[in-house]
């Protein structure tokens, strides 16, 4: 099942259009959705399982589980 535009918008707004991996502030057209727990590992398309990433970070961690609570953002712990 695809992620709806409404859910994507909610994720981007919640995350402030900031990549949760590298901390880059993104133009809306460059923000991408990432599953915290991949669908292939039992994750869902629920808001709580989605985060914002830039394209480079999204490609580098595809199908890996990320911990958004401890992922560094500009040198700090979230």
Q: Which two tokens stand for residue 33?
A: 């959705």
Q: With pLDDT > 70 as the criterion, what percentage of the chain qualifies?
A: 78
Nearest to 49 by CA among 59, 61, 39, 60: 39
Predicted confidence band at 65 (pLDDT cuts at 50, 70, 90)?
Answer: low
Three-state secondary-structure class, residue 4: coil
pLDDT score for 64: 60
Whats the size of the chain, residue-wise? 78
pTM: 0.75
Domains and CATH numbers, the chain: 5-77 (1.10.30)
Which pLDDT tens digit goes with each residue over 30-46?
A: 999 999 999 989 999 99
Phi then psi dihedrals of residue 55, to 5 deg: -60, -45
| Helix (H/G/I), strand (E/B), else coil: 19 | coil
DSSP lists the bridge partners of residue 32 as 53
Judged against a pLDDT cut of 70, whether residue 20 lies above it is answered with yes
């Amino acid at each position: 099942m695809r992620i709806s535009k409404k859910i994507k918008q909610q994720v981007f707004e919640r995350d402030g259009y900031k990549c949760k991996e590298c901390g880059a502030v993104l133009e809306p057209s460059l923000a991408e959705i990432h599953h915290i727990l991949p669908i292939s590992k039992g994750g869902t398309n629920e808001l709580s399982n989605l985060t914002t990433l830039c394209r480079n970070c999204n490609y580098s961690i595809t199908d890996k589980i990320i911990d958004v609570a401890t992922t560094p953002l500009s040198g700090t712990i979230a």
